[in-house]
Amino acid sequence: MRKVVFFSLIFLFSRCQKEQITISGNVSEAFYVENAGASMRVLVQGNTASKTFILFIHGGPGVSSYFYDTKYISKNIGDKYAIVYWDQRNAGASQGTVNGGNLHLDQMVDDLKKVIEVLKFRYGQDMSLFLLGHSFGGLLAADFITRPGYQDMIKGFIDVDGSHNYPLNDTLTRQALLTEGNYQISQKKNVSNWTPIVSYCINHKGNFSLEESQQLETYATQAENYIDSINHYNVVNLVLKYSIPDKIPLTAVLCNLLYSEDSNFNKELAVTQFSTSLNIVTVPVLVLWGKYDFTCPLALGEDFYNRISSTDKRIAVSVKSGHNMIFQDKQFFCNEIDAFVLSHK
């Protein structure tokens, strides 16, 4: 009986101990934020002593923040600031039930708010926090910062090839593919690859169904392979190279991705836009875009830039990038972010 009491006391004491939170120039610590049935992985890397944090909002839905955590970012931004990699619900290493009923923007905005609150509780209310949204992460961030009072929680926003308006996105993707495709064909470059893309765009002119939207996205991804000016990379090779040393749980990542791709959530997103509410945005904003991004064309970034009310805003374009600047022009990516954060932290 005394053994039972003894071990019970040890268990209770261990549960009551305060979690160790590291404040230093070289941190790597993971924890989980629980909200509405989801247990979401958060990894904090880099210099927490700086009191300046950059929270990555990854693409998808269903992609993982694991793929944004590169050694180049660690060496060129993480030495100065803390980088936060958050796996959204049903993404990456996040856990919980499948949350079909909770996979929608309202819930994910609430998730983001909870993550920010936990970060400030752990590392101090006086931190300088910046949001960085990529692709779908741009849409989620646009929803967040256009809600009354929410942008007061951050110092600034970095929009990296993000989407804030899916119907407009589809229209601009079609137009970008048509324009570039016709030009490439006129130059007799990759004619056999561009011809079916151009033909599809000619025959599908608007009011796109979800299937048409997904096909345009597929063509947008393929089209980058036919542009000589882009710094090309192989995502499969990157995953294979870093999955073991970085301990990426590929099974969990894949299952979450497959579930999110088949979710009805995508039907909701297909008609979602925040263009009409962007005038509420007044925080400093950096817009980073790839010149050859067909998935989220440059005109989409220009629409975002022109609609926000921020007086402190900048748009910068990489001439070497498509949709994934983080891999295609990593020096440009890190230099622009460093300069922006340094000016506003």
Give the domain extent around 339. Answer: 23-165+233-344
Specify whether the CB–CB gap between 77 and 334 falls below 8 A.
Answer: yes
Q: Is the pLDDT of residue 13 over 50?
A: no
pLDDT given for residue 9 in this prediction: 39
Name the H helices within 189-329.
191-203, 210-223, 235-242, 250-261, 265-269, 298-307, 325-328
If you write DSSP's letter for every residue of 215-238 in order, what string do you get?
Answer: HHHHHHHHHGGG-TTS----HHHH
Instruction: With respect to residue 41, please indicate whether it lies within any of the assigned structural domains.
Output: yes
H or E element that contains 244: none
Instruction: With respect to residue 1, please indicate whether it lies within any of the assigned structural domains.
Output: no
If you write DSSP's letter for every residue of 62-76 in order, what string do you get?
Answer: T--GGGG--HHHHHH
CA 320 – CA 145 distance, rounded (Å): 29
Instruction: With respect to residue 340, please indicate whether it lies within any of the assigned structural domains.
Output: yes
Instruction: With respect to residue 179, please indicate whether it lies within any of the assigned structural domains.
Output: no
Q: Is the pLDDT of residue 12 over 70?
A: no
Domain count, the chain: 1
**Type of residue found at 47:** N
Query: pLDDT-derived band of residue 150, with 50, 70 and 90 as boundaries?
Result: very high
Q: Is the dihedral of CA 7, 11, 16, 18 positive or negative?
A: positive
Q: What is the pLDDT of residues 63-76, one digit of tens each?
A: 888 889 889 999 99
SS (H, E, C) 176-201: HHHHHHHHHHHCCCCHHHHHHHHHHH
Instruction: With respect to residue 199, please indicate whether it lies within any of the assigned structural domains.
Output: no
Instruction: With respect to residue 209, please indicate whether it lies within any of the assigned structural domains.
Output: no
pLDDT given for residue 6 in this prediction: 40
Instruction: With respect to residue 4, please indicate whether it lies within any of the assigned structural domains.
Output: no
Query: pLDDT-derived band of residue 2, with 50, 70 and 90 as boundaries?
Result: very low
User: Which CATH number belongs to the domain containing residue 116 in this structure?
Assistant: 3.40.50.1820
The pTM score is: 0.90
**Residues whose CB is less than 8 angstroms from the CB of residue 143 and which lie 6 or more positions away in sequence, other chains included:** 105, 109, 274
* Residue 118 dihedral angles phi and psi, to the nearest 5°: -65, -40
Instruction: With respect to residue 245, please indicate whether it lies within any of the assigned structural domains.
Output: yes
